[in-house]
Amino acid sequence: MKNRVINPNVSVDCVVFGFDTQSLKVLLIEQKAVEGMSGHQALPGDLVLNDESLDDAAARVLKELTGIEGIFLRQFHAFGDPNRVKQVQDLDWLKSYRDQPEARVITIGYYALVKMDEFQTEASSFAERVFWQDIHEIPELAFDHNSIMQRALDRLREEFENRQVGFELLPEKFTLSQLQSLYEAIEDRELDKRNFRKKVLKEKLVTALDEKQTGVVHKPARLYKLNLEVRSKSPVHGSFVTVKF
Amino acid sequence: MKNRVINPNVSVDCVVFGFDTQSLKVLLIEQKAVEGMSGHQALPGDLVLNDESLDDAAARVLKELTGIEGIFLRQFHAFGDPNRVKQVQDLDWLKSYRDQPEARVITIGYYALVKMDEFQTEASSFAERVFWQDIHEIPELAFDHNSIMQRALDRLREEFENRQVGFELLPEKFTLSQLQSLYEAIEDRELDKRNFRKKVLKEKLVTALDEKQTGVVHKPARLYKLNLEVRSKSPVHGSFVTVKF
C-alpha cells in the first residue's frame, strides 16, 4: 500500500459472529509465524490509518485480513488498558509488524452478525489462516482478545434480549428448531421444545409458510419467516418486541 | 504536574447529566481565553496520559476541570472522525494547550448521571468556568462536542427505556410530580398527570412513604421511594422492569 500514514496509538478489532443454524461461531485469524515462532490466534484487527474514520478502519481491516466485506459492523467498546499489548508472548509479533512495537495501543471493538454461508473467507496480509471457531472452544488469543470477544458476546446477549438484535443470523426461511437453536446459542441455555414453540406462535414472532425443508434425510419440517409486523412501539429502536422464555 | 507523558492521539470527554427535579442539565466548561479570543464552551475533556486507563482518564479529567469526583462514569462511544479537531475556530486553543495541535485525536465519550445538588463545581486547569446548562439551551460547543452530547442523550434515552437507567437522578425521597418530571425530561415529551400516576402505582414502581414534603409554600405532596423489589428477571441486567407510558 502506498503512503499510508498509520496512527501508532489506535486500532480496531472485529468480533464477527456467525451462526450455522446449530451453534454460534466467531471469526478468528491465525497470525503469520514470525522468527520461527508459530503465530497466535487472534481477532481480525489492526492499527487505523491517520485519515480514515474508525468505522472505515474496521471495514478495511476486516477485508484485508479475512476477505469479508459489506457487512454491518457496530462499534461496541474501547479497550484502553495501558498494558494491553505489553505481554511477552505478543512482543515478537509486534516487533515484526509494527514500526513502534512499544507504543500504547487503544483499540476500538466492533462486532457484527453474519450468515456464515453467505461469506467466503480468504486470509491475506498478516493473517495466515481465517477460520470460524465455536464460541465454547475459543483458544487463548493474542493481546486482550479473549476479553474483547467476551465483552462482544455480552453485548450481543444484551442486544438480543432488549432489541432482538440477532435475527440477522437466521436464514430468511427457517424451521422452528433452527429458531430455537438461535435462542439457545445466544442465551447459552437449553429451552424446552414444546414451551418454546407454544410461546413463539402465541407471540406471533413468526409466520408459518406453506413450504417445507428440502434436501433433508429426515422428515422435512415446516418453514417460517419472521413476522416483521411484530415490533415494539419504541420510537428509539423500532426493534422487534422482546419475547422472553 | 510532573512527568506526565501525554498520549497525543486519544482523549476522553465527559457528558455529565444532572436533574434539578424539574429539567435535565448537562455540565459544561468555558475554556480560558487565548490570545485575546474568548474561550469556547465545551464538554469537560482532555488527552489521556500514557499510563492511565480510559476510565481513570475520564475521572481525572473531570476532576481537574470541574472539581467533581467520585461519580460513576460510563463509557458510551468512541468518536474518530479524522477532522474532528481541525475546525478553524478551535485552532488557537489547540495551539495554546497542546504540544501537537495538528495531531489527530480520537476521543472516548463517557456519560454520568448525578444529583446536581450533591456536587459543588470548581473550575480549574484550562476551565475558566463550570456551569450546568439546560439540554434545550446548549450553545455551540468546541470541536464535535455538540454531537457527542447528542449521542450521550440518545444513549441515556435508550438506557432509560430498556434498563431504567436514570433513576440515579432522583432524590431518595421524591414526589410523583418530580418522578413525572424525570420521565418528561428524559423522554422529552409531556405526560398526562392522571394516567402517569395510575400506571406508576399499578406497576408498583414506587412505594408511598408516610411522609410529606417540607419547606414548600404550596400544599406539601406525599413522598415516595423507588420500589427496589420491582426488578426484571433479566440475568444480564438485574435492572428495574420497564414501565412505559
Three cell numbers written together for A228: 416483521
Report d(CA B202, CA B161) in Å as an integer. 18
The full DSSP string for B138-205 is: --PBSTTHHHHHHHHHHHHHHHHHHH-TTGGGS-SSB-HHHHHHHHHHHHTS---HHHHHHHHHHTT-
Report d(CA A20, CA A157) in Å as an integer. 18
Confidence of residue A236 (pLDDT cuts 50, 70, 90): very low
Contacts 24+ apart (CB under 8 A), B73-77: B73/B14, B73/B110, B73/B111, B73/B112, B74/B110, B74/B111, B74/B112, B75/A77, B75/A78, B75/B108, B75/B109, B75/B110, B76/B109, B76/B110, B76/B111, B76/B151, B76/B152, B76/B155, B77/A75, B77/B108, B77/B109, B77/B148, B77/B151, B77/B155
Specify the pLDDT at position B110: 98
DSSP code, position A160: H
Chain A environment of B240 (Cβ under 8 Å): none
Confidence of residue B244 (pLDDT cuts 50, 70, 90): low
Query: Are the CB atoms for B13 and B145 separated by under 8 Å?
Result: yes
Q: How many CB atoms lie within 10 A of CB A211?
A: 12
Q: Does B56 touch chain A (CB under 8 A)?
A: no
Could you tell me if residue B70 is inside a domain?
yes
Specify the pLDDT at position A115: 87
Specify the pLDDT at position B155: 93
Statement: residue A129 has pLDDT above 80: yes
Specify the pLDDT at position B3: 65
Please judge whether A80 and B161 are an interchain contact, meaning their C-beta atoms are less than 8 angstroms apart.
no
Q: Does B51 touch chain A (CB under 8 A)?
A: yes
State the average pLDDT over residues B4-33: 94
Could you tell me if residue B220 is inside a domain?
yes
Statement: residue B202 has pLDDT above 90: no
Q: What is the CA radius of gyration of chain A?
A: 20
Domain final residue pick, A144, A163, A182: A163
Specify the pLDDT at position B245: 56
Specify the pLDDT at position A118: 86
Sign of the alpha-carbon torsion through A139, A140, A142, A146? positive
Specify the pLDDT at position B235: 31
**Alpha helix (H) residue ranges in chain A:** 54-66, 88-97, 145-163, 176-187, 193-202
Report d(CA A43, CA A10) in Å as an integer. 15
Least confident window among A48-57, A176-185, A222-231, B20-29:
A222-231
B52 and B153 part of one domain: yes
Could you tell me if residue A23 is inside a domain?
yes
Q: Does B78 touch chain A (CB under 8 A)?
A: yes
3-class secondary structure, A148: helix
Could you tell me if residue A32 is inside a domain?
yes
The distance of B52 to chain A (nearest Cα, Å) reads: 6
Specify the pLDDT at position A245: 56
Q: Does A75 touch chain B (CB under 8 A)?
A: yes
Sign of the alpha-carbon torsion through B140, B144, B147, B149? negative
B136 and B198 part of one domain: no
Specify the pLDDT at position B36: 73
Statement: residue B221 has pLDDT above 70: yes
B10 and B106 part of one domain: yes
Contacts of B49 (CB under 8 A, 6+ apart): B4, B5, B6, B7, B57, B60
Specify the pLDDT at position A244: 55
Least confident window among B33-42, B181-190, B202-211:
B33-42
The residue among A145, A166, A183, A232 whose CA lies nearest residue A18 is A166
Specify the pLDDT at position B241: 40
Please judge whether B106 and A52 are an interchain contact, meaning their C-beta atoms are less than 8 angstroms apart.
no
B48 and B111 part of one domain: yes
B196 and B105 part of one domain: no
Please judge whether B10 and A7 are an interchain contact, meaning their C-beta atoms are less than 8 angstroms apart.
no
3-class secondary structure, B129: strand
State percent of chain B over pLDDT 90: 65
CA A56 vs CA A11, A63, B11, B86: distances in Å: 12, 11, 20, 19
Query: Are the CB atoms for A164 and A239 separated by under 8 Å?
Result: yes
Report d(CA B63, CA B71) in Å as an integer. 10
Amino acid at the residue B100: Q
Chain A environment of B78 (Cβ under 8 Å): 54, 75, 78, 108
B87 and B46 part of one domain: yes
State the average pLDDT over residues A107-131: 93
Specify the pLDDT at position A238: 33
Please judge whether A82 and B9 are an interchain contact, meaning their C-beta atoms are less than 8 angstroms apart.
no
- The count of structural domains within chain B is 2
Contacts of A35 (CB under 8 A, 6+ apart): A92, A96
Three cell numbers written together for B45: 475533556
Confidence of residue B33 (pLDDT cuts 50, 70, 90): confident
Q: Assign residue B42 the CATH number of its domain.
A: 3.90.79.10
Please judge whether B82 and A53 are an interchain contact, meaning their C-beta atoms are less than 8 angstroms apart.
yes
Could you tell me if residue B236 is inside a domain?
no
State percent of chain A over pLDDT 90: 64
Least confident window among A3-7, A205-209, B51-55:
A3-7
What mean pLDDT is reported for chain B? 88
B141 vs B203, residue with greater confidence: B141
Could you tell me if residue A36 is inside a domain?
yes
Q: Assign residue A189 the CATH number of its domain.
A: 1.10.10.10
State the average pLDDT over residues A215-237: 69
In the block, which residue shows the cell 415446516? A222
Report d(CA B77, CA B155) in Å as an integer. 9
What mean pLDDT is reported for chain A? 88
State percent of chain A over pLDDT 70: 91
Report d(CA A14, CA A109) in Å as an integer. 6
A20 and A90 part of one domain: yes
A151 vs B230, residue with greater confidence: A151
A26 and A79 part of one domain: yes
Using one digit for the tens of pLDDT, what is the confidence trace for B58-111? 999 999 999 999 998 999 999 999 999 988 888 888 988 899 998 999 999 999
Report d(CA A146, CA A141) in Å as an integer. 6
Owning domain of residue A30: 6-163
Chain B environment of A158 (Cβ under 8 Å): 236-237
* Among candidates B9, B51, B154 on the partner chain, residue whose Cβ is nearest the Cβ of A7: B9
B149 and B185 part of one domain: no
Could you tell me if residue A203 is inside a domain?
yes
State the average pLDDT over residues A138-153: 97
Using one digit for the tens of pLDDT, what is the confidence trace for A40-70? 999 999 999 999 999 999 999 999 999 999 9
State the average pLDDT over residues A208-217: 91
Q: Does A85 touch chain B (CB under 8 A)?
A: no
Confidence of residue A242 (pLDDT cuts 50, 70, 90): very low
A87 and A47 part of one domain: yes
Nearest CA in chain A to B160: A236
Q: Does B189 touch chain A (CB under 8 A)?
A: no
Specify the pLDDT at position B161: 81
A32 and A122 part of one domain: yes
3-class secondary structure, A50: coil
Length of chain B as a residue count: 245
State the average pLDDT over residues A81-97: 89
Could you tell me if residue B233 is inside a domain?
no
B141 and B202 part of one domain: no
B3 vs A243, residue with greater confidence: B3
